[in-house]
Every structure is written in structure tokens, then in C-alpha cells.
Chains A and B, each alone.
Chain A
Amino acid sequence: MSEFLAMGGYAAFVWPAWGLSAAAVAGLVVFAFAERRAARERLRRLESDEA
């Protein structure tokens, strides 16, 4: 396990590259969900105002 984590001595480069990639990709997905939720909420409020 620790040998795997050491990445042949390159842990300081391999893990940040993968970690940042995972964080950015997850961030894009979370943003897309939040954007949809906010738009739906905005539309719901506007439509209930109108009625």
C-alpha cells in the first residue's frame, strides 16, 4: 500500500495531478447541478408571482 502511494518516488507530482483533475471535474458537475437548481427555483418563483 505505502509502495503504491509512493508512486516510485514521484508521489508529489502524480497525486496532485490526479487530485486537481478529480476536483475540477467534480466541480464542473456540482456547478451544473447547482445551476439547474437555481434556474428552477427562479422560474418557480416568477411563475407563482405571475399566477
Chain B
Amino acid sequence: MLSYFSNPQRFDGLARRVIPVLGVAAVLLLGIGIYLAFFGSPPDYQQGDTVRIMYVHVPAAYMAMALYAALAGASFVFFVWRHALADAAAAVIAPIGAVFTVLALVTGSLWGKPMWGTWWEWDARMTSVLVLLLVYLGYMALRAALEDAQQAARAGAVLAMAGVVNLVIVKFSVDWWSSLHQPASVIRFDGPTIHSSQLWPLAIMALGYTTLAAWLVFYRLRTRTLIQRARQIERRKLQAARKAGSGQGGAA
């Protein structure tokens, strides 16, 4: 399956068909999600209307982590099997993941102030999510700094795989340390502990964010093919110009 779609043309054919489906699904899910978040769900009995922040905070945090897992997975596939498409996916995912991480931090802060009485606390959950953002940014900076594309891809893959340690810390931080942040209430062994009137809008928003992120990844991957083709032509031109230049030099 993996090697089947590592053929660039076959992947392009798949992406072309998947992109519109993901786009329509994202618009529909986010539309329904927004409606449910504001009109189809009650204020919380303790948190009042601030609970509506949950419907953008939790999906953003979930995407920050899911996209990091995808980044690390793609990096692993590239590192072991050298599939160029896996590296392209990793490069395309990183900035999207970074944006969702910022959203998780900012919406969390806006929820923390009225409910906890503070915008920020240096506890395990918040600090590890901040580190997640720094890992994303470090990954992007590393790739941008190395001029040789192959070297950038390999170094990036190593960094992305090492960063999985922090991803594990993010997930379990609320269990391992006492935190202002509540422990998991949706993804847990004994099932969700959140009421269905709040679980539905949350699940649909999360699915909307997921399809939107998938749309972004596929769409940007196809763009990257265009950019690579342009680079190829530029390289060919540069070589031709150099050959012409050295020819003149020899004559003189």
C-alpha cells in the first residue's frame, strides 16, 4: 500500500480525487459543528458558556498531536525506505501542525483565565505543549537552514523522530504530574466521561478539523510537485548556462 502510492503519478491521481471530497466534508462538518457548539449544546453547569471554548480548544490540541504523530511517522518511513513522498509529506505537515499548536495554546489560555484564574501556568501539560511548538519550529528552521535538500530531509527526519518523546509527555503529562489541566475525558480506556450533549459537537468539530488538515496536506503535497518540477527546470537551465560559460572560457 505504502509503496503502491509512493509512485508520484499514482499518488497525484489519488490526491486529485481525494482533495474535493475532503474539502466538501470539512465545510459540512465544520458548519454542523459550529451550529451544535453554539445552538445545539447547553452551557456547562459549572463552567457556563466558557465550555464553548472547548469545541475549538480540544480539536486544535488533538490536531497538534495527531499531526506531530503523522510528521514522525512520515519521517520514519522516509528514514527507513527513502520514499521521497514521505519526506514531502513531513515537510508539508510541519507548519500546519505548528499553527494548530499555537491555537491550542491560545484558546487554552483564553479558557484558563476565566476558569482557573490564570492565563498561563508552568505546569507539565502547558509546558510540554509549548515544547511541542518549539519542536515544530525547530524542525522547520532546521530544514530551511540546510541547503542540501537530501541532508535537510535526513536531519529533519531524525529530529522529528526524537521529538516523539515529547509527544508522549504531552499525552500523559496530566496523569504523571498534578496539573491545573483536567485529565483525559474523551480518549480513555473506560470510555468518554463527558455528557453526549457536549461530546457530539466536540466529535464533529474534531472530525471537521481532521478533514480540513487532511485537505491541507494533500493540497500542499500536489503544490510541492509543481515546485519540484520548477526547481528541476531551473537546475537544468543553470547547468546549460554553466556549460555555455565554460565553453566561452575555453575559447578565450
Chain A residues 25 to 51 lying within 8 A of chain B, measured CB to CB, are 25, 27-29, 32, 35-36, 39-40, 42-43, 46-47, 49-50
Q: Are A40 and B226 in contact (CB under 8 A)?
A: yes
Q: Would you call B96 and A10 a contact (CB within 8 A)?
A: no
Q: Which of B10-18, B73-81, B107-115 contacts its partner?
A: B107-115
Task: Count chain A residues whose beta carbon lies closer than 8 angstroms to a beta carbon of B.
Answer: 28
Task: Give chain A nearest CB distance to B174 CB in angstroms.
Answer: 20
Given A24-B102, A40-B226, do A46 and B50 touch, yes or no (CB 8 Å)? no
Contact mask for chain A residues 3-34; partner B; CB cutoff 8 A; 1 contact, 0 none: 01001111001101110110011011100100
Question: In the complex, A16 Cα to B96 Cα: how many Å?
Answer: 21
Whether A8 lies near B102 (C-beta < 8 A) is no
* Residues B220 and A17 in contact, CB atoms below 8 Å apart: no
Q: Which residues of A contact B113 (CB under 8 A)?
A: 13
Over the window 202-237 of chain B, the binary record of Cβ atoms lying under 8 Å from chain A Cβ atoms (1 yes, 0 no) is: 000000000010001001101100110110011001
Is B111's CB under 8 angstroms from A8's CB?
A: no
Counting from the closest, the 6 A-B pairs by CB-CB distance are A8-B49, A39-B226, A7-B49, A21-B56, A17-B107, A17-B110
Which residue numbers of A lie inside 8 Å of B, CB to CB? 4, 7-10, 13-14, 16-18, 20-21, 24-25, 27-29, 32, 35-36, 39-40, 42-43, 46-47, 49-50
